[in-house]
Amino acid sequence: MRVRPRDTAAPAPPKRSLRRRRLIGLAALGAALLVALLGSIAIGTKVIPPGEVFSALFAPTGTENDLVIRSLRIPRTLLGVLVGIALGLAGALAQGFTRNPLADPGLLGINAGAAFFVVCGIYLFGVTSLFGYVWFAFAGALVASVAVFVIGTRATGGATPVSLALAGAAVSFLLQALTSSIVLLDETSLDAYRFWVVGSLAGRDADVAGQVVWFIVVGTVLALASAPALNALSLGDDVATSLGHSVRRTRLVGVVAITLLAGAATAACGPITFLGLIVPHVVRAFTGPDHRWLLPASGLAGAVLLLVADVVGRVVVRPGELQVGIVVALIGGPFFIALVRRKKLGAV
C-alpha cells in the first residue's frame, strides 16, 4: 500500500486500468451467464435446437420439447443459478471473514452437518425424497456452523483463522464419523446417502427451489451489505474497530449469511464442495481484493460455473449423467491448481 499524495494532477494510472479490468470482467461474466443459461436449457440428453428453445420459452404449443424445457430444464436451470450464486458468495464471505484464502463454507462444518442430519432423516424417519431431505440438511448446516463459530470464537484471540479452521475440522470430523457409523451399520441408509452426497441438480423440481429461495435472497442481501465491513476487516481487527465497524457484529452477520447461503445450497442439491473455494480466487484475478466488487462477481461466477458443470455432466456420459458435484471437482480442480501455480497468492 503506497499512499499517494492527494495533490498529484494526474489520476493514478493503475486505478483506471483496474476499473476497466473490473468492468470488462463483470461484462464477460454477464455474457457467460447468458450463454450458460441458454446452454442449460437447450443441451441435455436430448439437444433441442435454438428455434424450438425460443418457441418453448415464449410461445409454447405443448410439444414434447416444450414440456421438457418448461417442466424439467427451466426449474433445474433456475435452481442451478440460485445454488451457484449462493455457493460463490458463501465462499467469498468465508475467505473474507476468516482472512484465510483456504476457507471454504465446508470448513465451517456445513457440509458435514447437513450430511449427518440427512442420514439421520433416512435412518430414523425413512425419508428418501429429495424434497424431504431439504429441511434436515438445512437444520444440520445451521447446527454445525453455529457450533463451529461458537467454539472458534471462544478460542484464543477470538475467531482467528486458525482457531476457526481447527474448530471446523474437529466438528466436521466428528459429524462425519457419526454419519459413517450410521451408513456402515445400515446398508439401506448407505444406499440412499451415496447418491445424495455427490451433489446434483438432477431430479429436483421447482418445489425444492421454492423451499430455499428466500434463504438465498436474505443471505445475498446480508452478504452484499457486509462488503464495506469486510474491506475494513481485511486491514485487521484493530483498524476495523477504529474505522467504526463492530468486529463482533460483522462476524456474526457473516456467519449468518454463510450459513443461510451454503446451508440452502447444500439442502437443495447435496454437498457441492470446492465451488465456494475456487470461485473467489478466480474472480479476485480481475476484481482485486475489494469486496464490493468481489462479492457480486463471485456470485455470478458461481452461477456460471455450476451451470456449465451441470451441462457438461449431462453430455459426457450420455445417456447417463455425471452429477454436477463431481463435474465441479473435475473441472474446478485442475483450473484451481493452474491458478495457484500462476499467481503469487497473497493473503486475502
Site residues (vs another protein, CB under 8 A)? 101-102, 151-152, 154-157, 162-163, 165-167, 169-171, 173-174, 176-178, 180-181, 183-185, 187, 190-191, 194-195, 197-198, 273-274, 277, 322-323, 325-326, 328-330, 332-334, 336-337, 340-341, 345
Q: How far is CA 78 from the centre of its chain?
A: 15
- Select 165 or 267, whichever has its Cβ closest to another protein: 165
- Select 135 or 336, whichever has its Cβ closest to another protein: 336
Alpha carbons 143 and 109: distance in angstroms, whole number: 9
- Select 77 or 179, whichever has its Cβ closest to another protein: 179
- Select 219 or 313, whichever has its Cβ closest to another protein: 313
- Select 177 or 243, whichever has its Cβ closest to another protein: 177
Nearest CA among 88, 138, 159, 116 for reference residue 260: 138
Minimum CB separation from another protein for residue 333, in Å? 4
- Select 247 or 326, whichever has its Cβ closest to another protein: 326
Cβ(133)–Cβ(267) below 8 Å: yes
Question: In three state form, how does the secondary structure of 33-83 look?
Answer: HHHHHHHHHHCCCCCCCHHHHHHHHHCCCCCHHHHHHHHHHHHHHHHHHHH
| H/E segment holding residue 298 | helix 291-316
Determine the 3-state secondary structure of 234 from DSSP. coil
- Select 149 or 215, whichever has its Cβ closest to another protein: 149
Alpha carbons 85 and 292: distance in angstroms, whole number: 15
Three cell numbers, residue 15: 486505478
Minimum CB separation from another protein for residue 319, in Å? 15
Q: Which residues contact 116 (CB under 8 A, 6 or more apart)?
A: 140, 144, 175, 176, 178, 179
- Select 38 or 182, whichever has its Cβ closest to another protein: 182
Three cell numbers, residue 267: 439442502
Minimum CB separation from another protein for residue 277, in Å? 7
Minimum CB separation from another protein for residue 323, in Å? 7
Minimum CB separation from another protein for residue 10, in Å? 36
Minimum CB separation from another protein for residue 39, in Å? 22
Alpha carbons 36 and 307: distance in angstroms, whole number: 6
Place of cell 421447482: 206
Q: In terms of C-beta density within 10 A (0-12 exposed, 13-18 middle, 19 or more buried), how is residue 297 classed? A: buried
Minimum CB separation from another protein for residue 146, in Å? 14
- Select 254 or 332, whichever has its Cβ closest to another protein: 332
Minimum CB separation from another protein for residue 60, in Å? 34
- Select 78 or 174, whichever has its Cβ closest to another protein: 174
Minimum CB separation from another protein for residue 328, in Å? 8
| H/E segment holding residue 332 | helix 324-342
Q: In terms of C-beta density within 10 A (0-12 exposed, 13-18 middle, 19 or more buried), how is residue 45 classed? A: exposed
Alpha carbons 79 and 147: distance in angstroms, whole number: 28
Amino acid of residue 163: S
Minimum CB separation from another protein for residue 317, in Å? 10
CA-CA-CA-CA torsion sign (122, 204, 168, 177): positive
